[in-house]
Amino acid sequence: MQGLYAVFSKELRDHFSSYRFVILFALIAMVSFITSYMAGVHMKGNLEALAKTRFPFLTLFSTPGAVLSMVQFVAFFGPLIGLVLGFDSINRERADGTLVKLVSQPIYRDAVINGKFLAGVTTISIILLSIVLVISGFGLALVGTVPEVEEVWRIFIFLVISIFYISFWLGVAILFSISLKSIATSALASAALWIFLSFFVSLGADVLANTVAPVDNSKETEPATIIKNLKIKEMVSLCSPMVLYTDATATIMDPMRNTISIVSIVQRERRPMEKLLSSRFQNPLSLGQSLIVVFPYMIALIAITFICFAISYLIFMLQEIRT
């Protein structure tokens, strides 16, 4: 424990005093200001109109401001925080010759990666928490609404899911920094995996779905084929942590949606009347119901985070450390 705490507090101090943290934080603060300002302005107009939004506070996070909403922004670029905090965590020490010194002290070897991982997670949590507080403060000032208790809970759950999501990428970065000796290579490898899983998996899902169950727009296609096509797309997309994250946060931050399956949304979209009705008169899902809907996605996200960490752990424990 003493070793874990020593490594943890040193790493945390390093993170907070590094330029890279300052740059990351400035970048994120800027983006969250812009998105929440845009969302706030947009919503102010809405609130003055007749149709009031049910959860004005959540809208601050889930309405696209300039380009992306806050939720989308975390989905797209949150992984970068994890990658930047972790890509050189072990191999820089190896290159500097401090790793062998560290592991020849009377601490358990896993204290080194546990300490680093926890320090990264703490840094991520502090970054995210401060963004959420900034946006909320902004919302209070700009829109003049006080969040309901339920909204506070939903934002809290969003925060927890986001921390897990970004921690997964921290774990990926640490894994690469353990298994690859060169810092440049581990940076590149983790960025490549991020781009692949976030952007190319959905492309691949399209291709696969259209090959297995081709849907031709010019001809009538059997409904069964369309559904099969969509199902395949959905299954393959789930390999992407970004999709998992988006699905996990969707119903939490947007309670008017009661499902996250593309299939059912599309099916509903085929009947315009019903769509109108549902958006007009549908009641939002309760918090408990929302949790049930997103639960599997949350669990999947947490599971891949732990799997990734477990692999790092195994490799590191068996690795020979010469420098």
Partner 1 sequence: MEADRVIETVSLTKNYDHHRAVNSLSFEIKEGEIFGFLGPNGAGKTTTLLMLLGLSRPSAGYSRVCGLDPLRKAREVKRLVGYLPENVGFYADLNAVESLEYVATLNGIKRAEASAKIHELLEVMGLSQDAHKKVGAFSRGMRQRLGVAEVLIKDPRVLFLDEPTIGLDPDGALRLIDLIQSLNRDKNITVLIASHNLYQVQKISHRVGIMIDGKMVAEGSVQSLAEAKFGVGEKEYSLEEVYMKYFREV
Measured at the CA of 264, the angle between CA 259 and CA 269, to 5 degrees, comes to 110
- The sign of the CA dihedral 203, 206, 210, 213 is positive
Among 45, 106, 272, 288, binds partner 1 (CB under 8 A): 106
Choices 6-14, 38-46, 149-157, 275-283 (CB under 8 A): range interacting with partner 1: 6-14
Smallest gap from Cβ 92 to partner 1, in A, equals 10
Choices 100-108, 118-126, 184-192, 305-313 (CB under 8 A): range interacting with partner 1: 100-108
Among 16, 64, 80, 109, binds partner 1 (CB under 8 A): 109
Q: Decide: 248 and 301 in contact? Cβ < 8 Å.
A: yes
Cα–Cα distances (Å) from 139 to 13, 162, 180, 289, in that order, read 31, 20, 44, 26
Interface with partner 1 (CB under 8 A), residue total 26
Smallest gap from Cβ 4 to partner 1, in A, equals 10
Check binding of 44 to partner 1 (CB under 8 A): no
For residue 218, what is the DSSP state?
A: S
Window 175-194: contact mask with partner 1 (x via CB under 8 A): --------------------
Q: DSSP for 12-64, please give it.
A: HHHHHHSHHHHHHHHHHHHHHHHHHHHHHHHHHHHHHSSS--S-HHHHHHHS-
- By beta-carbon proximity to partner 1, the closer residue of 96 and 222 is 96
Check binding of 105 to partner 1 (CB under 8 A): yes
Smallest gap from Cβ 188 to partner 1, in A, equals 24
d(CA 168, CA 4): 20
Smallest gap from Cβ 179 to partner 1, in A, equals 17
- By beta-carbon proximity to partner 1, the closer residue of 97 and 137 is 97
Check binding of 321 to partner 1 (CB under 8 A): yes
Smallest gap from Cβ 80 to partner 1, in A, equals 24
Window 78-97: contact mask with partner 1 (x via CB under 8 A): ---------------x--xx
- The sign of the CA dihedral 152, 153, 156, 161 is negative
Among 20, 54, 101, 271, binds partner 1 (CB under 8 A): 101
Q: DSSP for 148-214, please give it.
A: PHHHHHHHHHHHHHHHHHHHHHHHHHHHHHHH-S-HHHHHHHHHHHHHIIIIIHHHHHHHHHHHHS-
- By beta-carbon proximity to partner 1, the closer residue of 3 and 171 is 3
- By beta-carbon proximity to partner 1, the closer residue of 108 and 156 is 108
d(CA 178, CA 19): 23
Q: How many of the other CB atoms lie within 10 Å of CB of 91?
A: 22
Among 26, 100, 266, 292, binds partner 1 (CB under 8 A): 100
d(CA 318, CA 300): 27
The footprint of partner 1 (CB under 8 A) covers 2-3, 6-7, 10, 17, 93, 96-109, 318, 320-323
